[in-house]
Structure 1
Amino acid sequence: MGQMQDINQPSSHPEWLENLCRDYNHQRKPNIDEQRIQAYLQLIFSLLNCPNGQEMELLEANSDLVDGGLLEWIALVAADLAEKGNQNAADWLLNFASQLAEALGISSPSATPEEYLAFLQELLDTEYKSNGNPQAVYQVLQRHLNKLDTHFAQILKQVATAWISQHPEDAESIVVLIENISNLIQEFPLGNIANNLEIAIAGYAVVLQKREVNTEMWAQVQNNLGSAYRGRIKEDKADNIELAIAAFHNALQVYTPQAFPQHWAATQNNLGTAYWGRIKGDKADNIELAIAAYTQALQVYTPQAFPQQWVITQNNLGLAYCGRIKGDKASNIELGIKAHTQALQVDTAQAFLQDWAMNQNNLGNAYCERIKGDKADNIELAIAAYTEALQMYTPQASPQDWAATQNNLGTAYSDRIKGDKADNIELAIKAYTQALEVRTIQAFPQDWAMTQNNLGTAYWSRIKGDKADNIELAIGHYQDALQVRTPNAFPIECLQTSRNLGDLAFEIKNWQLASENYEKAIASVERSRNWATTDKRRHEILKDAIKVYEKMVQACINNDRLDKALEYSERSRSKTMGDIMASNRYFEQGEIDLKLKQAWHQVDPLNLSQIQGLIDNDKTALLSFYTTENDTHVFILLKDRLPQLFTCKGQGLKALQSWLWDNWLIPYVEFRDAENWEWKDKMGSVLAELSRRLQVNELIAKYLNGIEELIIVPHLMLHQIPFAALPVAVGGMGWGEVEPPGMGSQ
């Protein structure tokens, strides 16, 4: 956040505030918008008198009146009815308003418009009279916590805009007060943090209307607005971060290292933090941008001139190095440890206790991830660092930081090698549970979901207590986490939790639960891949998650959902094929149209009916091969029948696919490149062995009687096999290979 702007003396006595409030309050009286208010009242009267069950029809017929204003007037009418003794009608109206507000995503006002306006007047008056004293303003905010909501944000924006328009001579004074109030509310630690940020954003929107573009004052608001968007809880997280990045870049159009070195460094640090948390774009590239921004800031922030800012930026740089994707992982973590350790050297005098504790926490994180050194010793160093941080952090003074460190301590105990395993897990559960005292779904939904996920993993691995009870607790915590971690909002986090829950369900043979959560995991993978901007990153995402597709197929098979198993086997294949087609390395001789390339990345998988549509007649069968860790499955699909399954037991990735790599592909490459005749000499025996492993004769006898044509959809190394050359028993049918577009590939 930038420093609070100095307050200029207004053009007249503070009575101007009272006059403005009185003017605006008068404008809210019915005579200013009589027609709309009469329409509200008529609709409310109709709702009270319509037959039961016809309320929705009335609302649909008057959809232009269904908004926050209707809710306000329902509250006023209900109060009037109650005052006149008609409590039943009042209660019905209030209950109806509550349901309507929920449907609209609007919270019911906690005060009347007049009360909100009086609060705003008191707030601005205190800001003016105290000359911007934060404590004086915070006392007012604390007395009116119930009014710090989205309704107040709307009123602030409406009132301030009206005042500026009607009193241009006082516009600058109003803008200064609104900006300073917005800064203070953004930093206010009490109340609903999400609402506080909405109020601040509304205030900055008003201020920017009166700030000349590319001026110092405009840049200051842009920097503060960026901080508000970066921390914003409501709306889409990914979009909020993009808005933050845009605001910081706007500020840097004015803030240069020559003209405004301190502001430039502060904004570079903020920009780095936004890139570090960025959801859109390529993760690896975002981290590089964060490191570059932090490094820029450290050109100005030195331990001698700006010790506290240097410590904060060193801490951020340490985090970025520890999370870095590019470069050598072990070396990056060592750079992170170095950055945190350097910051702690400045903090030894305990001049900045909060920053010291923050660095201890992050140093603990670095030791947890450390590759070099002894793993057990690194975890002990992490536990020691977290414990040091908790000497400073308390749930009262630093609730968020305390909860984050408790969460991290829980993870360290979960991973601990030294000590008793059962006791370590109990310590982890205790730490996670304490973190949830602060991390609630209302106040900190993302952090709450993270700890719920961790707690689920701890209960899954718990040794003490009843195993069945622990499993149920683990499932419950994972499901809680997935309330927030959805494929669209947080795909990476959703992949983690849904895969965890899917694996747990797979372990206990709850195939329905497993397939439901692998489905979420796959949706998360595909959303992440669509957001990735490079072929390399898309490949990495799919490589890290390929087991999810495999387990989804197996869970569907075990759940007797062969249709879904076939669809997901094709889904994993089509995504890989789309990436291959869109990759530049396969089209070196010409450029690919950008829209075509994007279409390949977003290829829609075929469903069962579409796959069956590729089969022309009842004499044709489609055989789709899919190899898992343990087995190779062959899906048999006819034109008018549900899929059937033939499983080659024991012919998994290692037994079959690796065998083909060693005995078919490598010898073939050697034959092609160096005329090594071993491949040609052994071709017959290798194909005969493959036919035996795939149990071709049994497959034909059981499923392919009367079939005259085959569509073969291979998997992995099977793409390199000439299926027509596979030997079969005398009298058996021959193999003919046909591959329709979008399915297999040779």
Structure 2
Amino acid sequence: MDELLNQVYHEIIYNLLIHPPNQALNVLKNHAQVVDDDFLQVLRETVITLGERNCQEDSDFLNKLVQKVEESGGFSTLLAQVAPPKPAETQAQKVAPQQQKTATPKIVSPEKQSAAENLYNQGTQQFQANQYTAAFQSWQQALQLYRELQDRRGEVNCLGKLGNVYQSLGQYQQALTCHQQALTIARKIKYRQAEANALSSLGNVCYSIGQYDQAIEGYKQALSISKTIEYRVGEANTLGNLGNVYYVLGKLEEAIKNYQQALTIAQELNYRFGAVNFLNNLGNVYASLEQYEQAIAYVDQALTLARTLNYRFGEAYFLSNIGKIYQAKAEPEQAKVYFEQYLELVRSIQSPQMEANALQHLANTYKIMGEPESAITHYQQSLEVHRQTQNPQGEAITLSILGQIYQQLRQTDTAIQALQDCLKIATPKALPTECLAAGSHLGDLGLSTYNWQLALEGYEQAIQAIEHICTGISPIEIRSEIAKESSEIYAKQVQACITLKQYEKALEFVERWRCQRRVELTDSSLFPSSGEVQSLLKKYERLQQQLHALHLRRQSDEMKQLTTAGVRLNSSVTFKTESEILDTLETEKQKVWEDIRRLDEIVAEQLQVNGLSLEEIKALIPDETTAILSFYSTAENTYIFIVRKTEIFLHICEGEGIETLQDWIEKSWVENQKNHLREWRNKMIEFLSELSRRLQFNQLISDCLENCNELIIIPHLKLHHIPFAALPIQLEDQTVYLCDRFKIRTISSCQMLKYNQHQNQTIDSNSIAILEDTTGELVLTRYECQKIDKIYQVSQEFYLSGETATVSQFESLIKQVQIFYMGSPLRFTSENPLEAELQFNDGTISIAQMLAWHLSELLEIVIPSLKLENQPLDFYELNMRVFNRFLERGTQRLIYSLWSLEDIATSLLIWFYYQNLQQKSCTEALRQAQIQLRNLTGQELEKVYKPEILAYLKQQQETKNQQKINDQRTLLAWKCQQDYPFESPYYWANFIIYGC
């Protein structure tokens, strides 16, 4: 059947019902070009539906008409009995112009033709009864018969039906295949209307799986054909579909434009069922724009038209919609009036599921009005109806809301029971959104009543739902929305574990949170672009899209269900069928994920959370003298988990929670560095001393870090901005810095340690590459590069001069060497750190481009200069979104600067580091370099380094840098006059090692 004619068919049926029975044939005659076998099937379906809804008189009348048509051998024979109507063409006739009809092929076998039609009709009835498998089999058999008969139109119809059932089952790839086949045949037989329908159907599938660009393209092609063949109803419906896509994309002006055009055509055609929906859609858009009066005006027009059409379900929905707009407008009393009318109407038409929805809307309104008892009464009534109609999803949602209200009323036991009953239905896989809400509230109840085991139970369910909803290929808007909720829920779960002294479990949840954040921040465009993994990724993405679309459909309201499934609302049968489909898809998706993990563990762990156990974490610690310090702030406290090779400790910084500690760091360190640089620099030691005190580092070292000489620090949030090497501590009654006691490296999670185990390396002239400053902004970069060159005797082809370095040279070298020193600034010009770029004379290279290369040999990247333009840099996000990507691809470590520093200090520190790296590990090399620079005297600077720096500056002839050169000379002279010119952490603590 032509799906876009469905609304027109229903309008004809409406006319049959409102006219006297003796006028029925005249009504059909006036629409002779539309009433065909497809219309007859819609008529049969309506007979069944009306019977189910106790509209027996109308059902009997239409059933007699169906029998009459069948007895006479079809509409054409029956209508021949009626005198020809007036020659004027009706608007409905324009729906399917005669010249577009294709000739029916000669029937070779009447018996086979009849069998095909019977199977086709049987499939439709089975689909209406939610018997998807049976319907599929019937249509498959009908398709085979139509092909044997060479009935191409029947073949197209069956393919469309099969595509629709695949879409209903969430099997979108198969749906696309069916509609594409229908499109190919329609084009071959030049059946333009069927071509338009197939394109629209393809658009519908793409819309369902969130491929909005493809949906728009399909709709636009369908629209063009509909205009060409004057298929006005198709044109209107396609414009409406375009409006739907633009609405979802937030392009509200475009949505309004398309809905208005659709409405104009519908009104010209007197296509009232289309007009009523377009009016309502316009109301929804204006409600989203918070233009509530205009929204109400449009929906009220839809309501009036629905009443004129005796379109009772539409009338009910529009009453509900107006009520919801008044709720959004903060006028609950007026909303209540409409919801009461909605309830009265749905009871009169005996629609239990809509009755349950109406009761729920009323209950929500009473809740808003501060009348909890009335709200509970209506929720209880709604719950009873949901149970009577076997609607598990409605039952779960209502139980969750009841639990929340009982919680507010301090009826704790009743609240717990309601939420636990909800979670029996709303599992993380079946109803993840409802599970997230109920689990979170159950956990909160546990916290508020000090029932920590109950808190663990609730938050565990909520966390499983979060990890189920949000994957590495989920739409970014879903990941962003989940991120707002997830952090707080994980934090509460960690708090509950710690209160129960389950420190091991607490750390595992901290790591699960870090893994979840990694998934949330994954950029799927950086996944492998070829090979077996890419093929599996596409399969995984298709399965995830199907799951996402099925969950969205479960959350859609009653009108959306009517729109997508004719007159069929959600039911227990639908829920059961969909649950079976979800289970099958989940099992298949997990199998694909296991296959991906077998081939590429890193990609697999970007798709879904795969947290580590404590034993797995301990196994990542190289020796007895190394410890992991994992920081984690909740609302109340900051916790430091100390993991040694054989044990775990917990250090609690009481009262140092998010607002107390993290917000203080944001204001006193991050914002001051950006806005009050001199003040920030002058107060650096004061701030770091206070931070060390707040984190109780002296006690931490005394209690947990004896016999330890290396720290792997995993910061939390703003602690990623902190130079831990410069934290003052007490050592044998002396104030020293943390780097005087420990080698230090930083990482974002224990999971990342899996990819960065220590590797043996021997540095020679062919294992290191150097890139000078290509911008001409950094005066002493060539000096430090030449010093490194002198140490390692770098091969000439591995040394890129700033003036002549090209993009291709850089790409070639970074793929060959183990260590790359990037003396040129990495410039951040947008909010997306992956767009940060290096500049060359012949172009630029972005981080994203580098990550697309195969860098299997690269172990270390040193980036001494990060240039920020227009916005501050969040090092937590930088580590998660950029530097983690390098570690995942095999790079062992990145050494970068937390703040910009003057050239002299940077050059000396870099030179000291590379000197030390000849004989020491990277962490020890940097530690010693920091101590060397800090202890460098003014006399030594003047005697050893000043002459060669001045000689280098004298060689520089760039006039554009003359002022900078003069400034460096002045600064150098001033530094030489000081006892310890670089003793402040500002000069030596800015570099950190991220990785191993």
Task: Give the TM interval when normalised to the shorter protein.
Answer: 0.5 to 0.7
Quote the offset at 1:721 in angstroms: 1.0
Q: Where does residue 143 of structure 2 map in the other structure?
A: 208
Is residue 616 of structure 2 the alignment partner of residue 610 of structure 1? yes
Q: Using the alignment, how far apart are the partners of 1:434 and 1:352 within structure 2?
A: 26
Quote the offset at 1:651 in angstroms: 1.1
Asked if 2 retains the 8 angstrom alpha-carbon contact of 1:215 and 1:254, the reply is yes
1:54-105 deviation per Cα after TM superposition (whole angstroms, max 9, x unaligned): xxxxxxxxxxxxxxxxxxxxxxxxxxxxxxxxxxxxxxxxxxxxxxxxxxxx
1:553-575 deviation per Cα after TM superposition (whole angstroms, max 9, x unaligned): 11221222211211111222233
1:174-198 deviation per Cα after TM superposition (whole angstroms, max 9, x unaligned): 22123223334544xxxxx54x455
Q: Where does residue 689 of structure 1 map in the other structure?
A: 690
1:452-487 deviation per Cα after TM superposition (whole angstroms, max 9, x unaligned): 2223223323x4xxx4xx433333332333334332
Asked if 2 retains the 8 angstrom alpha-carbon contact of 1:395 and 1:402, the reply is no
Is residue 345 of structure 2 the alignment partner of residue 392 of structure 1? yes
Quote the offset at 1:685 in angstroms: 0.4
Asked if 2 retains the 8 angstrom alpha-carbon contact of 1:626 and 1:634, the reply is yes
Q: Where does residue 728 of structure 1 map in the other structure?
A: 729
Of 437, 441, 463, 1:522 maps to: 463
Is residue 310 of structure 2 the alignment partner of residue 356 of structure 1? no
Asked if 1 retains the 8 angstrom alpha-carbon contact of 2:179 and 2:198, the reply is no
Q: Which piece of structure 1 moves more, 509-518 or 353-362?
A: 509-518
Of 274, 277, 281, 1:309 maps to: 274
Quote the offset at 1:336 in angstroms: 5.8
Of 621, 628, 637, 2:634 maps to: 628
Q: Using the alignment, how far apart are the partners of 1:518 and 1:657 within structure 2?
A: 24
1:3-55 deviation per Cα after TM superposition (whole angstroms, max 9, x unaligned): 7999xxxxxxxxxxxxxxxxxxxxxxxxxxxxxxxxxxxxxxxxxxxxxxxxx
Alignment of 1:120-131 (within 5 A): none
Question: Counterpart of 1:404 in 2: which secondary structure?
Answer: helix
Is residue 480 of structure 2 the alignment partner of residue 473 of structure 1? no
Is residue 472 of structure 2 the alignment partner of residue 512 of structure 1? no
Pair 1:246–1:302, CA change in 2 (3 A): farther
Q: Using the alignment, how far apart are the partners of 1:452 and 1:622 within structure 2?
A: 43
Q: Using the alignment, how far apart are the partners of 1:584 and 1:136 within structure 2?
A: 51
Q: Where does residue 672 of structure 2 map in the other structure?
A: 667
Is residue 359 of structure 2 the alignment partner of residue 406 of structure 1? yes
Q: Name the aligned partner's letter for residue 181 of structure 1.
A: Q
Is residue 452 of structure 2 the alignment partner of residue 452 of structure 1? no
Quote the offset at 1:169 in angstroms: 5.2
Q: Using the alignment, how far apart are the partners of 1:312 and 1:517 within structure 2?
A: 41
Q: Using the alignment, how far apart are the partners of 2:212 and 2:682 within structure 1?
A: 48
Pair 1:216–1:403, CA change in 2 (3 A): farther
- Structure showing greater Rg: 2
Of 278, 291, 294, 2:245 maps to: 291
Of 485, 496, 501, 1:544 maps to: 485
Of 420, 427, 432, 1:486 maps to: 427
Pair 1:169–1:255, CA change in 2 (3 A): closer
Q: Using the alignment, how far apart are the partners of 1:657 and 1:211 within structure 2?
A: 69
Quote the offset at 1:264 in angstroms: 6.2
Question: Counterpart of 2:646 in 1: which secondary structure?
Answer: coil
Q: Using the alignment, how far apart are the partners of 1:413 and 1:702 within structure 2?
A: 56
1:300-333 deviation per Cα after TM superposition (whole angstroms, max 9, x unaligned): 86145211232135445656886xxxxxx54487
Question: Counterpart of 2:650 in 1: which secondary structure?
Answer: strand
Of 644, 653, 664, 1:648 maps to: 653
Pair 1:555–1:429, CA change in 2 (3 A): same
Q: Name the aligned partner's letter for residue 636 of structure 1.
A: I
Quote the offset at 1:660 in angstroms: 0.6
Quote the offset at 1:346 in angstroms: 2.3
Quote the offset at 1:578 in angstroms: 5.0
Count of aligned pairs between the two proteins: 553
Asked if 2 retains the 8 angstrom alpha-carbon contact of 1:621 and 1:637, the reply is yes
Q: Using the alignment, how far apart are the partners of 1:408 and 1:527 within structure 2?
A: 29
Pair 1:356–1:603, CA change in 2 (3 A): closer
Pair 1:360–1:130, CA change in 2 (3 A): closer
Question: Counterpart of 1:729 in 2: which secondary structure?
Answer: strand
Pair 1:443–1:680, CA change in 2 (3 A): same
Q: Where does residue 718 of structure 1 map in the other structure?
A: 719
Identical amino acids, percent of aligned pairs: 29
Asked if 1 retains the 8 angstrom alpha-carbon contact of 2:504 and 2:614, the reply is yes
Pair 1:242–1:653, CA change in 2 (3 A): farther
Pair 1:360–1:438, CA change in 2 (3 A): same
Asked if 1 retains the 8 angstrom alpha-carbon contact of 2:167 and 2:175, the reply is yes
Quote the offset at 1:260 in angstroms: 7.4
Is residue 303 of structure 2 the alignment partner of residue 344 of structure 1? yes
Is residue 746 of structure 2 the alignment partner of residue 739 of structure 1? yes
Q: Using the alignment, how far apart are the partners of 1:533 and 1:318 within structure 2?
A: 30
Alignment of 1:56-95 (within 5 A): none
Quote the offset at 1:646 in angstroms: 1.7
Higher relative contact order, chain-length normalized (CA < 8 Å, sep 6+)? 2
Quote the offset at 1:289 in angstroms: 8.0
1:613-650 deviation per Cα after TM superposition (whole angstroms, max 9, x unaligned): 12233333222110111211111222212x32221111
Quote the offset at 1:550 in angstroms: 1.3
Q: Using the alignment, how far apart are the partners of 1:621 and 1:536 within structure 2?
A: 38
Q: Using the alignment, how far apart are the partners of 1:130 and 1:637 within structure 2?
A: 70
Question: Counterpart of 2:387 in 1: which secondary structure?
Answer: coil
Pair 1:537–1:450, CA change in 2 (3 A): closer
Pair 1:451–1:738, CA change in 2 (3 A): same
Q: Using the alignment, how far apart are the partners of 2:265 and 2:337 within structure 1?
A: 29
Q: Using the alignment, how far apart are the partners of 1:669 and 1:626 within structure 2?
A: 25
Of 557, 563, 575, 2:516 maps to: 575
Pair 1:736–1:481, CA change in 2 (3 A): same
Of 367, 378, 386, 1:431 maps to: 378
Alignment of 1:169-184 (within 5 A): 170-184=111-125
Q: Using the alignment, how far apart are the partners of 2:686 and 2:42 within structure 1?
A: 91
Q: Where does residue 442 of structure 2 map in the other structure?
A: 501
Question: Counterpart of 1:383 in 2: which secondary structure?
Answer: helix
Question: Counterpart of 1:302 in 2: which secondary structure?
Answer: helix
Q: Where does residue 86 of structure 1 map in the other structure?
A: none
Quote the offset at 1:608 in angstroms: 1.1
Is residue 512 of structure 2 the alignment partner of residue 565 of structure 1? no
Asked if 2 retains the 8 angstrom alpha-carbon contact of 1:269 and 1:313, the reply is no
Q: Name the aligned partner's letter for residue 528 of structure 1.
A: I
Q: Using the alignment, how far apart are the partners of 1:364 and 1:244 within structure 2?
A: 37
Pair 1:282–1:625, CA change in 2 (3 A): farther
Asked if 1 retains the 8 angstrom alpha-carbon contact of 2:473 and 2:524, the reply is no
Quote the offset at 1:580 in angstroms: 4.5
Q: Using the alignment, how far apart are the partners of 2:117 and 2:630 within structure 1?
A: 69
Question: Counterpart of 2:627 in 1: which secondary structure?
Answer: strand
Question: Counterpart of 1:629 in 2: which secondary structure?
Answer: coil
Q: Using the alignment, how far apart are the partners of 1:516 and 1:282 within structure 2?
A: 39
Q: Name the aligned partner's letter for residue 664 of structure 1.
A: W
Q: Using the alignment, how far apart are the partners of 1:210 and 1:613 within structure 2?
A: 64
Q: Using the alignment, how far apart are the partners of 2:368 and 2:276 within structure 1?
A: 29
